[in-house]
Structure 1
Amino acid sequence: MTRSMTAFARQEAEHSWGSLIWEIRSVNHRYLEPHLRMPESLRELEGSLREQLRKKLSRGKVECTLRFHPEAQAQQLTVNSEFAKELIAAADEVAALSLSGNTQPMNPLDVLRWPGVLQDAQIDMDQVKAEALKLFGRALDDLIAGREREGAELNALIEQRLVSISEIVVEVRSKLPQILQAQRDNLRSRLEELKEDLDEGRLEQEMVMLAQKADVDEEMDRLNTHVLEVRRVLKQKGPIGRRLDFLMQELNREANTLSSKSIVADTTQCAVELKVLIEQMREQIQNIE
């Protein structure tokens, strides 16, 4: 299923000890680039959160913000004494190794600033962390659903332009015999106007060169092949954006060749219309995962 890289999700949960709010925003990006913002007391969840993102998303710049609002009666602070002792002992051990001989005790304020030393007295932080992970999962599922809905819209827009490209290919093919005949008649008339001996061999040689220059059957075949490939890729599961971007380059290459081989305004106009359609698809594909 086609997924966009642009979406937004928000999930909120109320508990006796407070509330949690997750907001996730994602925009297009060449790779998966997550940015996590959360309270320091919940920072240790970062590894698990990044793992969830890697499992469910492949591309996009993803900004995840967690807000934790404890209930007023649960906002008293207590010191995690065991952790503080371990921190001070580690600081003393490092200070003892100092070549300068500086063994001043660790500043108490520095100890208190260390994440995990101060805790909410009446809150089970393990429960808060578990709920935060669960809520993140729901928010991430909402984000993916939003990306899929927008992806379906992008799919429809691309399909419209693929139909237009196929119609242009049919139009060019139908006009080519008349174009070549008109050019043949024009060349013959110009030679006759010169009142010179008409060398049939030279005339045929000129017509062969003209036909070779105007022969775009190969380009038309490749355009049709690329259109079929784009449709096939759009039905695939998983990330498809880079593959589609490559196919846009190939479609544009054929449109440029058609333009360079054009001998009348009609085919030039068709080449211009092809380039416009391809560019419109390319812009949409930049948002596809």
Structure 2
Amino acid sequence: MQQSMTGYGRDERTSQNLLIKTEIKALNSKFLDFSPRMPKELSAWEGEIRNMITDQLKRGKVMLNIELEVADNSNLDVLVDEARFKAYYNKFSALTEAVNSHSGDLVKLAMQAPDVIKQQEIDPESLPWGDIKASLQEAIHHCIEFRKNEGEALAQKLGEYIANIRNGLKTVEENDESRSENIRSRIQKNLDEIRDRVQVDENRFEQELIFYMERLDISEEKVRLKQHLDYFDEVIGSEECAGKKLGFISQEIGREINTIGSKASHAEIQRTVVMMKDELEKVKEQNLNIL
């Protein structure tokens, strides 16, 4: 089953009076672009976290956010930097006197100043890493399930576009036989018109005609295009994480369509080629979303 590179996963749980919130967002990217945002207390496990993301999400722009909060604040100590508070208060008092202003609520201003009130730090040694890891794994699981659901819809769309190209190939095949006959008839008619005035070497003419028809022949292109379409359907139905491979196959499909368009001097075939190119552009666009 194919997966989209777009995904979302979230987990929230409590362990040892600690609320663990884990959130993963994934977007399109040619390679793995991992952007973690987590407390400094988890620095020791950053390598393991990165490995979990790399091994399971593989590719895309992955944004990870882990938050750790004290679940019960009833016994939470309030930490105040008294020296910093006094420094702010004294500075504010001096400034008010310098401008002959009323003192105002300097206590409130000093308490709201940066780094006066500190959050209670979490002891890294006491962190429940097993539960944090489980929360991360659950968020990854939800992200993968999201990707699979998106991938299923993408695969269905891609199948429709490839089917349209396949129908276009049938139209090309239907018109190709009459195209070849028309070319032969036109050349023969032109030859008959000048035969009385110009001496023609029949053997040389036949050789040149064969050479000319070979240059316009699209039999091999039709066969290769069908093979590429079959291979595309095979890969999207049987392989996982095949975004890059589908991109390469799409390039080959485009090469055959372009060659058919350049060789086939036929109005209906040319219109069909334009339609197939349009469908192929849709395929390439959606391929960018496949993992």
What's the TM-score, normalizing by structure 2? Answer: 0.77
Q: 1:46 to 1:126 in 2, by over 3 A?
A: same
Q: Secondary structure at the match of 1:68?
A: strand
Q: Distance in 2 between matches of 1:27 and 1:126?
A: 30
Q: Please report how far the alpha carbon of residue 138 of structure 1 lies from its aligned counterpart in structure 2 after TM superposition.
A: 0.7
Q: Which protein has the larger Cα radius of gyration, Structure 1 or Structure 2?
A: 2
Matches within 5 A, 1:111-260: 119-120=121-122, 125-127=126-128, 129-194=129-194, 196-197=197-198, 199=200, 200-201=202-203, 204-205=206-207, 207-260=209-262
Q: Secondary structure at the match of 2:127?
A: helix
Q: Please report how far the alpha carbon of residue 175 of structure 1 lies from its aligned counterpart in structure 2 after TM superposition.
A: 1.1
Q: Distance in 2 between matches of 1:238 and 1:63?
A: 22
The aligned counterpart of 1:72 is 73
- Listed as ranges, the gaps of 5+ residues in structure 2 are 80-114
Q: 1:178 to 1:74 in 2, by over 3 A?
A: farther
Aligned residue type for 2:282: Q
Q: Please report how far the alpha carbon of residue 41 of structure 1 lies from its aligned counterpart in structure 2 after TM superposition.
A: 2.1
Q: Please report how far the alpha carbon of residue 167 of structure 1 lies from its aligned counterpart in structure 2 after TM superposition.
A: 1.4
Q: 1:151 to 1:206 in 2, by over 3 A?
A: same
Aligned length: 249
The aligned counterpart of 1:108 is none
Q: Please report how far the alpha carbon of residue 174 of structure 1 lies from its aligned counterpart in structure 2 after TM superposition.
A: 1.6
Aligned residue type for 1:214: L
| Bigger mean CA offset, 59-68 vs 129-138 | 129-138
Per-residue deviation, residues 24-79 of structure 1 (Å, max 9, x unmatched): 1111222222211011123323222112112212211110001222132354389x
- Check whether the contact 1:262–1:268 (CA below 8 A) recurs between aligned residues: yes
Q: Distance in 1 between matches of 2:75 and 2:252?
A: 62
- Check whether the contact 1:77–1:119 (CA below 8 A) recurs between aligned residues: no
Q: 1:51 to 1:249 in 2, by over 3 A?
A: same
Q: Distance in 2 between matches of 1:28 and 1:61?
A: 6
Aligned residue type for 2:219: D
The aligned counterpart of 2:9 is 9
- 2:22 is equivalent to residue 49 of structure 1: no
The aligned counterpart of 1:37 is 37
Q: Secondary structure at the match of 2:2?
A: coil
- Check whether the contact 2:171–2:269 (CA below 8 A) recurs between aligned residues: no
Q: Distance in 2 between matches of 1:244 and 1:120?
A: 48
Q: 1:186 to 1:228 in 2, by over 3 A?
A: same
Q: Secondary structure at the match of 2:5?
A: coil
What's the TM-score, normalizing by structure 1? Answer: 0.77
- Check whether the contact 2:41–2:122 (CA below 8 A) recurs between aligned residues: no
The aligned counterpart of 1:109 is none
Percent identical among aligned pairs is 26
- Check whether the contact 1:233–1:244 (CA below 8 A) recurs between aligned residues: yes
Q: Distance in 2 between matches of 1:220 and 1:20?
A: 58
Q: Secondary structure at the match of 2:52?
A: helix
Q: 1:283 to 1:175 in 2, by over 3 A?
A: same
